[in-house]
Chain A
């Protein structure tokens, strides 16, 4: 009876690893505190590894069968791969950004542009700078470049 549930820690550990991976882009990026450094996700991986280690110790004890040991090893390896991929995406792939060495520097004139807004209406930077904001001349314009939803 006990051996039937011998691998539950391993399954929980693996599941937590997957949740730790998915929850970063789908949930934790929404909050700067959990986005700038993925500590919440790393914490989840810590909990996952505790489950995995406990699970592995159980299946490799005298209680474990060969099948459970193989299953346990596969789950542990897959969990490690999920973790490694997470580290790669966040800390290696995330840093693959162009240098932008010729971006306008502080003190330089911001290059003028004319672009369509979401209603297709043409908008100039000069207008954005001068058009009243709440009835007053704006102090400044914050230009945010983003990757888009391709």
Chain B
């Protein structure tokens, strides 16, 4: 997310709007926005409704065995169709902004 924020101008230019989703309540997201300076929407899914519908639940991986989201990225086009997915196999490895921007070029 930090690297996406850094390249936000490039995402803007490509017409791609990033949004982030986690189980964190809005208060925690607000903290994160202030600390990290994120300017794209940070959404809260405390009941894991959206997290479940995208099948990205990481069961019992959170605090007190709570269900949270696994890291995952979906690129959705203007018709609402999924056009690119990244489901990392290793928590420490994430999609690079350039990879996403390259995938976004196919959306035109």
Contact = CB atoms under 8 A, between A and B. Distances in A.
Interface residues on A, range: 35 or more
Contacts of B72: 100, 103, 144-145
Interface residues of B, number: 73
A118 to B, nearest CB: 4
Interface stretch (A14-22, A56-64, A123-131): A123-131
Give the interface centre of B4, B15, B69 by most chain A CB atoms within 10 Å.
B15
Given A136-B15, A140-B78, A140-B83, A118 B93 contact: no
A32 to B, nearest CB: 5
A36 B83 CA distance: 24
A138 B75 CA distance: 12
Contacts of B108: 139
Interface in A77-133: 90-91, 93-98, 100-113, 115-120, 123, 125-126, 128-131, 133
B21 A145 contact: yes
A142 B14 CA distance: 11
B104 to A, nearest CB: 6
B26 A110 contact: no
Given A113-B53, A129-B78, A147 B45 contact: no
8 contacts: A95-B90, A97-B70, A104-B74, A111-B53, A139-B108, A142-B17, A143-B21, A144-B73
Interface of B: 1-4, 11-12, 14-24, 26, 28-33, 41-45, 49-51, 53-59, 61-63, 66, 68-78, 80-85, 87-94, 96, 100, 104, 107-108
